[in-house]
Chain A
């Protein structure tokens, strides 16, 4: 029989999923619905980022590179190769996965701040390439991506893509969950804690990091490609933007990188705030200031994100006798008893 806490967790997940899926029905107008699509796409991106950032602790500020590559790959495969939209999306993600192998081999050799710098440099290089190679990419004039469902009216178009992003998010979350509870995931988390120590215990750290990196890049590219199909217009300045990567980091950190739903929660907060700022102060750069302040606040006051901060508050209010030593949950105690038999 499942324990109370796991039942509670399951019901929160089910309620959250139901709320998300009914969002298009609740949205008062197509604009809110389109904002929902943007937030869902952010949730996909930050969850994808967390495959490498959360597990291994390698902070990539340059994940915008894979968003852009996935988006342009999808667009170009449709336009230049005449592929059907979703075949182009999948092939584009596969190409990004293949490309992530050499990029990962090169960049995962350095740790900490050096890795951050390397990850940023990749976005900047790609931005220059996609801007300058205008004959192929459309350059700064942009690239118009044909819509996959030309007959669909605009609100229905948003509706379909909201569910597509939700489906992709579900796959990404499920994959993260599977890795989180696996032996592979244990190795990745050990890398985050002490990479050399993990290697001395027999963990093939480099191969592990590379696998997580490729998985992360692939999901990010799928998110970018789906965005291209939805938005239909690509510009290198927005596709290969440092900001995209920075948003992914901020969302994941805000929610909590050690938690399955941390990046998703962060995307809900930051994504909604960004959309709000664009509506209210669209002509200013105020949303950048707000983003910077939020990032500083998170790092200063909630380094582990909202989820642990909230559960700390919960523990203080409702479990006053909690000790400094982490208490075992009922499920853990039971499984111990089972083992001892």
Chain B
């Protein structure tokens, strides 16, 4: 049996009268590339934000590997092993690419916190990830001067710097050219082979279907279908949700 990664039971979040996530009970599988799809406004990003602690759910629970993480603050969830990217990409615009990476270094003791941030081992690790995503030649550039695609790669590299076992990506292919989508997809596959679990919100169906092992479909804040890509593709409820027939 596969181990459980992120799972939720009855997760609910409303903004005023709009119920963004409505009694969602979902399980994502450890070691797999999971996808979360659904029409615009179906509550995918709110679901992400509830799981990663950015917003507190009104009801229900979120678990990670059997551990209750509901209502924990985002940095504790990050330290539990969940890294995330943001829709529309968030980086630290007025810091260099290298410094963007060094933010993600985690230490607990005061002594380690006061150590030089530009130390050999942190720099080596940061440069290693930058090389892996292919932007190591830009390490001295202020992040705001990068192209959007490069910023997306930087965000991914920054998430990886925290060495998360589970990586939640919010629209990794959004606004990115096809060649770069291929690069990101290849990277996700490789990282998954190395044992990292993925949970991806994405609108690019070709990418979702070719990349993922397990797909969950949201509609109006609740899961309406879950399964491997071929099953999802054939599911009439999914077609209905997308086409509104």
Query: Quick one: CB contact mask for A179-199 with B, threshold 8 Å, 1 for yes?
Result: 101111111011001101111
Cβ A194 vs Cβ B90 within 8 A: yes
**A179 and B112 alpha carbons, distance in the complex (Å):** 12
Interface centre among A193, A324, A335, A339 (most CB of B within 10 A): A193
Cβ A186 vs Cβ B142 within 8 A: no
Would you give the shortest CB distance from A305 to chain B, in whole angstroms?
14
- Do A194 and B78 form a contact, CB below 8 Å, given A181-B116, A199-B73, A202-B106? no
- Do A202 and B95 form a contact, CB below 8 Å, given A183-B113, A183-B115, A185-B117? no
Would you give the shortest CB distance from B153 to chain A, in whole angstroms?
16
Residues in A neighbouring B103, C-beta threshold 8 A: 186-187, 190, 198, 201, 203
Residue B145 contacts which of A178, A186, A204, A324 (CB distance < 8 angstroms)?
Answer: A324
A161-214 contacts to B, CB under 8 A, are: 178-179, 181-187, 189-190, 193-194, 196-206
Cβ A202 vs Cβ B112 within 8 A: no
Would you give the shortest CB distance from A130 to chain B, in whole angstroms?
35
**A194 and B95 alpha carbons, distance in the complex (Å):** 11
**A76 and B207 alpha carbons, distance in the complex (Å):** 70
Residues in A neighbouring B141, C-beta threshold 8 A: 325-326
- Do A199 and B114 form a contact, CB below 8 Å, given A187-B103, A326-B142? no
Residues in A neighbouring B22, C-beta threshold 8 A: none
| A312 sits at the interface (CB 8 A) | no
| A156 sits at the interface (CB 8 A) | no
| B14 sits at the interface (CB 8 A) | no
Would you give the shortest CB distance from A207 to chain B, in whole angstroms?
9
| B75 sits at the interface (CB 8 A) | yes
Chain A interface, DSSP helix/strand/loop, else mixed:
helix
Cβ A204 vs Cβ B75 within 8 A: yes
Would you give the shortest CB distance from B48 to chain A, in whole angstroms?
10
Residue B120 contacts which of A182, A187, A339 (CB distance < 8 angstroms)?
Answer: A339
Residues in A neighbouring B83, C-beta threshold 8 A: 200-201
Cβ B159 vs Cβ A201 within 8 A: yes
Residue of B whose beta carbon sits closest to that of A201:
B104
Residue B79 contacts which of A185, A187, A202, A327 (CB distance < 8 angstroms)?
Answer: A202
A-B contact count (CB 8 A): 104
**Interface size, B (range):** 35 or more
Cβ B140 vs Cβ A332 within 8 A: yes
**A201 and B162 alpha carbons, distance in the complex (Å):** 7
Residues in A neighbouring B116, C-beta threshold 8 A: 181-183
Cβ B117 vs Cβ A186 within 8 A: yes
Query: Quick one: CB contact mask for B161-174 with A, threshold 8 Å, 1 for yes?
Result: 11000000000000
Residue B92 contacts which of A193, A204, A206, A326 (CB distance < 8 angstroms)?
Answer: A193
Cβ B105 vs Cβ A183 within 8 A: yes
Residues in B neighbouring A182, C-beta threshold 8 A: 113-117
| B181 sits at the interface (CB 8 A) | no
Cβ B113 vs Cβ A202 within 8 A: no
| A18 sits at the interface (CB 8 A) | no
| B99 sits at the interface (CB 8 A) | yes
Cβ A193 vs Cβ B95 within 8 A: yes
Cβ A186 vs Cβ B99 within 8 A: yes
**A324 and B117 alpha carbons, distance in the complex (Å):** 26
Residue of A whose beta carbon sits closest to that of B102:
A186
**A202 and B73 alpha carbons, distance in the complex (Å):** 10
| A328 sits at the interface (CB 8 A) | yes
Would you give the shortest CB distance from B135 to chain A, in whole angstroms?
13
Residue B112 contacts which of A183, A204, A332 (CB distance < 8 angstroms)?
Answer: A183
**A181 and B117 alpha carbons, distance in the complex (Å):** 6
- Do A189 and B54 form a contact, CB below 8 Å, given A181-B118, A194-B90, A202-B162? no
**A71 and B80 alpha carbons, distance in the complex (Å):** 45
B94-133 contacts to A, CB under 8 A, are: 94-96, 99, 102-107, 112-118, 120, 122-124, 127
Would you give the shortest CB distance from B140 to chain A, in whole angstroms?
5
Would you give the shortest CB distance from B127 to chain A, in whole angstroms?
7
Residues in B neighbouring A185, C-beta threshold 8 A: 117
Residues in B neighbouring A324, C-beta threshold 8 A: 145
Cβ B117 vs Cβ A326 within 8 A: no
**A184 and B162 alpha carbons, distance in the complex (Å):** 15
Residue of A whose beta carbon sits closest to that of B54:
A196
A-B contact pairs, 25 of them (CB 8 A): A181-B116, A183-B113, A183-B114, A183-B115, A183-B116, A185-B117, A186-B103, A186-B105, A189-B92, A197-B92, A199-B74, A199-B75, A200-B52, A200-B54, A200-B74, A200-B86, A201-B83, A203-B75, A206-B73, A325-B140, A326-B140, A335-B118, A335-B123, A339-B120, A339-B124
User: What 4 additional pairs, Cβ within 8 angstroms, besides A183-B117, A183-B122, A326-B96?
Assistant: A201-B158, A202-B79, A325-B141, A339-B120
* A-B residue pairs, 8 tightest by C-beta: A193-B92, A202-B78, A184-B113, A190-B103, A199-B74, A186-B117, A201-B104, A197-B90
